[in-house]
A and B are shown apart, each in its own frame.
Chain A
Amino acid sequence: MWHEDERNPNVTTASNNSDSLVSLRNVHFSIASRRIIDGMDIEIPRGGVTTIMGPSGTGKTTLLRLIGRQWVPDSGQVIVDGVDINRIGRDELYALRKRMGMMFQTGALFTHMSVFDNVAFPLREHTHLPERLIRHQVLMKLQAVGLRGARDLMPSELSGGMARRVALARAIALDPMMVMYDEPFTGQDPITVGVIMQLIRMLNDSLGLTSIIVSHDVAEVSAISDKLYLVAGGKVIDAGTPAHMQHSDSEWVQQFMNARPDGPVPFHYPARDYAEDLLEVAT
């Protein structure tokens, strides 16, 4: 159901939404005939930190994969920097991806390479810089995440927080226009959470990036975000500034923002009556 004026994504987006770097328009996506994303509209403003929050398993990682076109939606559009990424060829896609950094949930460092080589990898693949300049670049990125001294370590020697910082240095190695963070705080101690939070905000502002964070850690994330989305059940529940979300009337939002165990998102997985279940004679 394309409208006539949407045939050429370059034209429509440039005129409608030049302040959005990434737009998802009515995106639907299923895995094995199970609906994961059920009609989402998301606008990621340029230059800001936007966070997509939601319970585990609601398709937050899936959203990032759709933005990077690792997966293709069943319907709807994904516009990145004015281009509908599902309608471009492989070369164009690769050119665009060089400008999109992504920090994966586990860091996903190359296990057989040192920290230095991990960060140098995208530079060696995509630039023809002499090794001296690559070294310069790598040390700069490592300095930015505070790990210049760890350059010779192997990924197996790093703590979880350090691995993510190295992954972050690698994600910004090519000076991208945006960075996507998949659950950057999950499973980290409070000090590391603080460090990563500061880094995300600081890099966003000093490098002029656009940041997209996907997370379920509400408190941490609202402190550094300019815009929040709450997603659940494949849909956007609410969106706005952190202040707006704190005072939302929606029970969903209240449950999530205040970390209440039960509410519209039920604590119990759907089951039949508890008493009945207990009384049933074992067969």
Chain B
Amino acid sequence: MIADRLQALGSLVIDSLRRFGQATLFLMRALGGFTDMLRKPHLLVDQLYSVGVLSLAIILMSGLSVGMVLGLQMYNTLVDFGTEDSLGPAVALSLVRELGPVLTALLFAGRAGSALTAEIGLMKATEQLAVLEMMAVDPLRRVIAPRLLAGILSMPLLAAMFSAIAILGSYLVAVQMLGVDEGAFWSQMQAKVDLYEDVYNGIIKSVVFGIVVTWIAVFEGYDATPTTEGVSRATTRTVVYSAFAVLLLDFMLTALMFGD
């Protein structure tokens, strides 16, 4: 019985490794297609629109409300110690280092990642990918590469906008509504937030998340079983795997960056 379990575990590990290997080869071939976009920039522009621009609304709305909640909660805690002047840096640091990149990646997986998986999976199910192959056009270069690059470029930009609007939200609540001193709010923030330590590390995080989430999304679509259920399962997997990957990577990156 133990042997059975071990065997099941073993085959799970082997299957996962094989799938990871396939996904890596897939990524390598798609990366090879990045040069094509120098000649055909419209391929990238189309995808930047549908992956990036169309995610903007949800990112901005979520950013604003997260910022407002942060402002409110931090104020309630800090005011008891009379330290509400440090609300600015507290909010900014948690956004730039953690919440901005992580929440943006989770929202992005739900909004753009799932759409990418479904689109590519449906293209596969309706034989559009096979048609490309038979036309001597490599779908990895023509279909996957632009989507991958668009995701990688969009994520840090979206995360930056998320953090910016969230800081604005906390300003509205803390300064305009609760009466925190405006000068202290901004100047403390400026003094405490370090460009390299905080902002750059946050950007690195969101670049990593951008690569991983988009990679998962396009691979799941490409690898989907070409049926209705297959595509729907793949879409679910994209969201679940992306969330796990983002949270796990966030812990690892945080430990590396700030854990000295």
Contact = CB atoms under 8 A, between A and B. Distances in A.
B127 A97 contact: no
Given A110-B128, A111-B128, A68 B136 contact: no
Contacts of B138: 94
Contact of B136 (A94, A105, A109): A94
B137 interface: yes
Contacts of B126: 106, 108, 111
A159 interface: no
A68 B134 contact: yes
Best-buried of B128, B131, B137 by chain A (most CB within 10 Å): B131
B136 A104 contact: no
Interface size of A as a range? 20 to 34
Contact of A108 (B128, B136, B137, B142): B128
Contacts of A106: 126-127
B133 interface: yes
A111 B138 CA distance: 18
A250 B138 CA distance: 44
A98 interface: yes
B26 to A, nearest CB: 16
A126 B134 CA distance: 13
A32 interface: no
A97 B128 contact: no
Interface residues of B, number: 12
A97 B131 contact: no
Contacts of B134: 68, 70, 97, 100, 102
A209 to B, nearest CB: 15
Interface in B139-177: 142
A90 to B, nearest CB: 9
A93 B142 CA distance: 17
Interface in B182-227: none
B135 interface: yes
Interface string A47-76: 000000000000000000100101000000
Given A106-B127, A108-B126, A111-B126, A70 B135 contact: no
B128 A70 contact: no
A178 to B, nearest CB: 12
Contacts of A108: 126-128, 130-131
A105 B127 contact: yes
Contacts of A102: 131, 134
A252 interface: no
A100 B133 CA distance: 11
Contact of B133 (A70, A95, A125): A70
Nearest to B134: A102
A266 to B, nearest CB: 27
B127 A70 contact: no
A208 interface: no
Contacts of A97: 133-136
Interface in B85-133: 126-128, 130-131, 133
B200 to A, nearest CB: 38
B135 A104 contact: no
A70 B130 contact: yes
Given A106-B126, A108-B126, A111-B126, A98 B131 contact: no
Best-buried of B128, B133, B136, B138 by chain A (most CB within 10 Å): B136
A65 B133 CA distance: 11
Nearest to A105: B127
A126 B131 CA distance: 14
Contacts of A98: 135-136
Contacts of A126: 135-136
A65 B134 CA distance: 9
A146 interface: no
Nearest to A102: B134
B127 A122 contact: no
A111 B142 CA distance: 15
A92 to B, nearest CB: 11
Contacts of A104: 127, 130-131
Nearest to B46: A112
A120 to B, nearest CB: 12
Contacts of A109: 128
A181 B197 CA distance: 61
B140 to A, nearest CB: 12
A95 B136 contact: yes
Interface of A: 65, 68, 70, 93-95, 97-98, 100, 102, 104-106, 108-111, 121-122, 125-126, 174
9 closest A-B pairs by beta carbon, nearest first, are: A108-B127, A94-B136, A97-B136, A108-B131, A102-B134, A104-B127, A98-B136, A122-B135, A125-B137
24 contacts: A68-B134, A70-B130, A93-B136, A94-B136, A95-B136, A97-B133, A97-B134, A97-B135, A98-B135, A98-B136, A100-B134, A102-B131, A102-B134, A104-B127, A104-B130, A104-B131, A106-B126, A108-B127, A109-B128, A110-B128, A125-B136, A126-B135, A126-B136, A174-B135
